[in-house]
Chain A
Amino acid sequence: GAVVSQHPSWVICKSGTSVKIECRSLDFQATTMFWYRQFPKQSLMLMATSNEGSKATYEQGVEKDKFLINHASLTLSTLTVTSAHPEDSSFYICSARNRLAKTSYEQYFGPGTRLTVT
């Protein structure tokens, strides 16, 4: 149980284009999903928290107009990197919190999406 998938697992795009990454909770409903970014040999940095049916909450320094997040259902959240630039190349990881979780910190991570912008 508690499986989170991400699609695509890797993507290469040209500078200036937009890329959409999907995060799905496969066997549970996720009221909250989190988007992280991880640069090589660096820690996971929380970008935003998305709650089903409402606007995402972005961390300080993260441009909400560049990283569009949609959490339209209890099992799907999407992150769209708009007008991507080479500095956006990173490992993007989502995590999801089970609606029925007893603890507020319980999160399940997806396998990640490797984005390379050329």
Chain B
Amino acid sequence: QKEVEQNSGPLSVPEGAIASLNCTYSDRGSQSFFWYRQYSGKSPELIMFIYSNGDKEDGRFTAQLNKASQYVSLLIRDSQPSDSATYLCAAYYGNNRLAFGKGNQVVVIP
């Protein structure tokens, strides 16, 4: 069973602050990781993907990967109310398949 864990409860951050989300994965063979944003009742939309150790920045979003610790994170800088959503971490484990975590809900308070 390929497992992706997102254990933090809902995260409330004031507008303009940094939101930090974490994710761990069980399959050491996983090579690529993804962060999706999902608004309530909607399907996920891809925000970022990362496959190399270190940081990857895209606008206000930064993904971090540490393969030795099997750990992926997402930072959202200058959080906006429109960032309020559930963020899903996913790991690619071959044959075109993704394993998703349960998600972390982010609430940005104006």
Contacts and interface: CB of A to CB of B under 8 A. Distances in A.
A49 interface: yes
A105 B32 CA distance: 8
A91 B43 CA distance: 9
Nearest to B90: A44
Nearest to A41: B102
A49 B96 contact: yes
Give the size range of A's interface with the partner: 20 to 34
B96 A43 contact: no
Contacts, number: 46
A107 interface: yes
A111 B40 CA distance: 11
Contact of A105 (B4, B41, B96, B101): B96
B103 A110 contact: no
Contacts of B88: 43-44
Given A105-B34, A105-B92, A43 B43 contact: no
Contacts of B92: 104-105
Given A43-B88, A44-B88, A109 B45 contact: yes
A97 B34 CA distance: 15
A34 to B, nearest CB: 7
A44 B95 contact: no
B60 interface: no
B45 A43 contact: no
Contact of A93 (B34, B43, B102, B103): B43
B5 to A, nearest CB: 10
Contacts of A43: 4, 88, 100-103
A42 interface: yes
Contacts of A93: 43-44
26 contacts: A34-B96, A34-B97, A43-B88, A43-B101, A43-B102, A43-B103, A44-B100, A46-B97, A46-B99, A49-B96, A49-B97, A93-B43, A93-B44, A103-B32, A105-B32, A105-B34, A105-B49, A105-B98, A107-B96, A107-B98, A109-B43, A109-B44, A109-B45, A110-B43, A111-B43, A114-B41
Given A105-B34, A105-B98, A109-B44, 10 more contacts: A43-B102, A43-B103, A49-B96, A49-B97, A91-B41, A97-B96, A105-B92, A109-B43, A109-B45, A112-B42
